[in-house]
Amino acid sequence: MNILVTGGAGYVGSVLIPELLKKNHSVRVLDNLMYGGRGLIPSLLNKNFELIRGDVREKSAVEGALKGIDLIIHLAAIVGYPACKKNPDLARSVNCEATFLLEKTRDKNIPILFGSTGSNYGAVTSQVCTEETPLNPISLYGETKTKAEQHLMNSGNVICYRFATAFGASNRMRLDLLINDFVYQAVRNKNMTVYEKNFKRTFIHVQDMVRSFLFAIDNYSKLKDNVYNVGSEKMNYSKEEIALIVKKKVDYYLHFAEFGSDEDKRNYEVSYRKINALGFDISISMEDGIDELIKVSSLLDIHNEYSNV
């Protein structure tokens, strides 16, 4: 297939593109490279890969990128609570308006696979979230992704994936992800303070996110026009549990704060039975993912500008 990946130079795209190429798909990336493009360097030598440096908010760039395309994987977004809070206008224009433009510009016969988020649920402490749980986003990130998801679902010929919180190594590494940040602080700074230790999140390794897109391509007719939580009930953890797993593997000072708070108030558990019943499950455990991050963190010399755990 001829596949367009928006935001393909990002954290997920940098892992996804090589896997699509291995499947003999032709891949075109539309990305403005606001975070650089080093994650795509290994793909540049592949004759089936094309990079268009352009803005997904610009109609001419979107029209050019869609020429000859059979399927769209829409990843372009300002991702996460901290980044959206820092640049709210940018978040709205990229997460919402660019999604509306992409949907309007595509031929309706071209499927869209959309990377949505479990942040759409917000804070749900009384039940396990299913795809039917009312959405109650409590951050600008969740609000914009919810609007984009609902718009695409109303348009049809789409699969929307509400991903668990991502973690794991990527050629475009991010430390504004909870587990990645925890491991980096433990390995490099040797100390960490954790606020609101009982808040629960659900997690997925970036390689399993990639596998879920490959699964959607191979099973599109079975999955289309539906929303799916993507992750595993085995990966529901509290912040305290994550910090203690890291502490078993790394010697560092860990303090659970009794006062103070994390501005990101997400607190929920999620059911993944819907997509599991169709044949998809994760392959990388929390322990294995943290082991990987420990190795990677020793090579990194970057920081999380948004850190507040």
Q: Is the pLDDT at 125 greater than 70, yes or no? A: no
Distance from C-alpha of 211 to C-alpha of 208, rounded to nearest angstrom:
5
- Decide: 215 and 281 in contact? Cβ < 8 Å: no
Q: Which region among 50-64, 94-108, 289-303 has the lowest average model confidence (pLDDT)?
A: 289-303
Q: What does the mean pLDDT of the chain come to?
A: 93
Q: Provide mean pLDDT across the span 122-136.
A: 84
Q: Using 50, 70 and 90 to split pLDDT, how confident is the model at 216?
A: very high
Which domains does the chain show, CATH number per domain? 2-166+203-230 (3.40.50.720), 169-202+233-297 (3.90.25.10)
Distance from C-alpha of 45 to C-alpha of 22, rounded to nearest angstrom:
13
Say what the pLDDT of residue 298 is.
86
Q: Provide mean pLDDT across the span 191-214.
A: 94
Say what the pLDDT of residue 259 is.
74
Between 274 and 82, residue with greater pLDDT: 274
Distance from C-alpha of 225 to C-alpha of 208, rounded to nearest angstrom:
21
* 306: Cα separation from own chain's centroid: 17
| CA-to-CA dists, residue 290 to 14, 25, 137, angstroms | 20, 31, 28
Say what the pLDDT of residue 309 is.
43
pTM of the predicted model as reported, rounded to 2 decimal places:
0.93
Q: Which region among 59-68, 105-114, 118-127, 139-148 has the lowest average model confidence (pLDDT)?
A: 118-127
> Going by C-beta distance under 8 Å and a sequence separation of 6 or more, which residues neighbour residue 46?
21
